[in-house]
Every structure is written in structure tokens, then in C-alpha cells.
């Protein structure tokens, strides 16, 4: 199962940012893996840039530390080859994803959340295009058969902006320092390479 179902107690929280390259790896894999383990996904978009700013960082550590950046792009190429995922190193990183993240918050409990997020990830990390434009978000929502302008207006409302700030503050309070992050109950797992471990524990906790 890939959406919350009260009949299935096993649940994994998936904290992600659409501008995060390692979130891309998990985003493209999590549904199939969660279904295999009979675990529901709780979608938790948050603003990773705000977390970094709380540490006094003005950008991603992959930018601030040259050596880490060089390693990361090679690692992403290897990981995408391993998982059979398409990949293009972004010509600009990190890209702002504020508008699509606000839309993701609107859709977090809707059946279209996965398709929307996966498409935005593809635009960012496969097609190497800016995702923080209303036209890009509009086209994506429209192709999903959704009322694009209605959703975009709701996403940009002050209520939703406040909710996004609150969600990001919650991430800070819970000790999240990067993306993707997963919670199986109170147990936190950080990084795409911990996705399978997180799902296993979530399934075990439900037994």
C-alpha cells in the first residue's frame, strides 16, 4: 500500500525535499518497496534549506565542501546505475523547489502525491530544468487530471505557507538534519541507503 490506510498499522514517515538529490533516489523506489513490506507511506515534505540555515549554512554541504560535491555527483551516477534510474547531473544545484513543495504539502494525503512528486523529481534530476515555476507545476498537475490553478492558489495561501513553516519546524524539533529521512515510530533513519532498513523496522513494529 502506498497511502495511509487505517486498516494497516504499519507506517513509515518519508521526509523529503524535491530539491534533494538523494531524495530523488528514494522517491523513485519507495512505493514498490513499501508495498512489498505492506507498509503505508506518510508523505512529509519539508524545506531542507531552512534546516541548513539553522546550522549557519547558506547552501547545500555538497556546494560548501568541494570534495564532498565531487564525490556526491559520482555517487549519484553509480546509485542511479545500480537502481536503473535515469540521471542528469543538475547544471544548477541546489534548485529552489518552494512552490512545488507547497503543492506537495497540499497533496500529502491525496492519491496524486506520488505521481506529482516523481514527475517533479524527473524534471529536476533527469531533464535538468527549473521546477520552481508555476507553469511547470501547472502542466504537471493538469496532466494528472487535477484542477491546477485551484491547487496552486491553495498552495500559495498564507495558511499553507504557515503549515509548511510548521512542518519544517517539526523536522527541526525531531532532529532531522538531511533528506531523505524516515521514521518508523520514533526510530529515525537518514539517507536513501537506509530506506530498506526503515521499512523492515516499520513492518516489524506493526506485528
Q: How far is CA 177 from CA 33, 41, 66, 191, in A?
A: 24, 20, 20, 10
Catalytic residues: 20
Q: Is residue 1 part of a domain?
A: no
Q: Coil, strand, or helix at residue 165?
A: helix
Q: Is residue 2 part of a domain?
A: no
Q: Coil, strand, or helix at residue 171?
A: helix
Find the mean pLDDT for residues 75-88.
98
Task: Report how far residue 155's alpha carbon sits from residue 76's, in angstroms, rounded to the nearest whole number.
Answer: 31
What is the spatial order of strands in the sheet that 187-190 belongs to? 40-45, 11-16, 181-184, 187-190
Find the mean pLDDT for residues 108-117.
98
Q: Is residue 134 part of a domain?
A: yes
Task: Report how far residue 187's alpha carbon sits from residue 106's, in angstroms, rounded to the nearest whole number.
Answer: 26
Model confidence at 5: pLDDT above 70: no
Q: Is residue 5 part of a domain?
A: no
pLDDT band at 34 (very low <50, low <70, confident <90, very high): very high
Which pLDDT does position 155 carry in this prediction?
A: 98
Q: For residue 177, what are the domain limits? A: 11-205
Q: Which of 50-59, 80-89, 151-160 has the lowest mean pLDDT?
A: 50-59
Which tens digit of pLDDT belongs to each residue from 188-204? Answer: 999 999 999 999 999 99
Q: Is residue 154 part of a domain?
A: yes
Determine contact, residues 33/202, Cβ cutoff 8 Å: no
Model confidence at 1: pLDDT above 70: no
Q: Is residue 3 part of a domain?
A: no
Task: Please give the model's pTM, rounded to 2 decimal places.
Answer: 0.93
Which pLDDT does position 206 carry in this prediction?
A: 80
Cα-trace Rg, the chain = 16
pLDDT band at 61 (very low <50, low <70, confident <90, very high): confident
Determine contact, residues 111/146, Cβ cutoff 8 Å: no
Tally Cβ neighbours within 10 Å of residue 36: 11
Which pLDDT does position 6 carry in this prediction?
A: 47
Question: Could you give the percent of the chain with pLDDT greater than 70?
Answer: 96
**E strand map for the chain:** 11-16, 40-45, 181-184, 187-190
Determine contact, residues 1/8, Cβ cutoff 8 Å: yes
- If you average pLDDT over every residue of the chain, what do you get? 94
Model confidence at 73: pLDDT above 70: yes
Which pLDDT does position 4 carry in this prediction?
A: 42
Which CATH number do you get for residue 33? 3.40.30.10
Q: Is residue 75 part of a domain?
A: yes
Tally Cβ neighbours within 10 Å of residue 15: 26
Which pLDDT does position 57 carry in this prediction?
A: 83
Find the mean pLDDT for residues 20-37.
97
Which tens digit of pLDDT belongs to each residue from 127-175? Answer: 999 999 999 999 999 999 999 999 999 999 999 999 999 999 999 999 9
Determine contact, residues 38/8, Cβ cutoff 8 Å: yes
Which pLDDT does position 125 carry in this prediction?
A: 98
Q: Is residue 116 part of a domain?
A: yes
Which pLDDT does position 108 carry in this prediction?
A: 98
Specify the number of domains making up the chain.
Answer: 1
Amino acid at each position: 500500500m502506498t497511502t495511509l490506510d487505517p486498516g494497516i498499522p504499519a507506517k513509515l514517515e518519508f521526509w523529503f525535499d524535491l530539491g534533494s538529490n538523494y531524495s530523488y533516489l528514494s522517491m523513485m523506489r519507495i512505493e514498490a518497496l513499501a508495498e512489498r513490506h505492506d507498509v503505508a507511506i506518510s508523505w512529509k515534505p519539508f524545506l531542507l534549506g531552512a534546516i541548513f540555515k539553522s546550522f549557519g549554512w547558506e547552501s547545500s554541504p555538497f556546494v560548501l565542501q568541494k570534495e564532498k560535491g565531487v564525490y556526491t555527483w559520482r555517487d549519484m551516477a553509480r546509485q542511479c546505475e545500480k537502481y536503473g534510474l535515469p540521471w542528469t547531473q543538475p547544471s544548477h544545484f541546489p534548485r529552489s523547489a518552494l512552490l512545488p513543495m507547497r503543492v506537495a504539502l497540499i497533496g500529502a494525503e491525496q492519491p496524486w502525491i506520488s505521481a506529482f512528486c516523481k514527475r517533479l523529481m524527473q524534471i529536476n534530476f533527469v531533464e535538468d530544468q527549473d521546477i520552481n515555476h508555476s507553469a511547470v507545476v501547472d502542466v504537471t498537475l493538469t496532466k494528472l487530471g487535477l484542477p491546477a490553478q485551484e491547487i496552486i492558489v491553495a498552495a500559495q495561501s498564507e495558511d499553507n505557507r504557515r503549515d509548511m513553516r510548521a512542518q519544517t519546524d517539526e523536522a527541526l524539533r525531531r532532529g532531522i538534519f538531511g533528506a531523505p529521512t524516515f521514521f518508523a515510530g520514533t526510530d529515525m533513519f537518514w539517507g536513501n541507503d537506509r530506506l530498506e532498513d526503515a521499512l523492515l523496522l516499520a513492518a516489524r513494529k506493526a506485528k
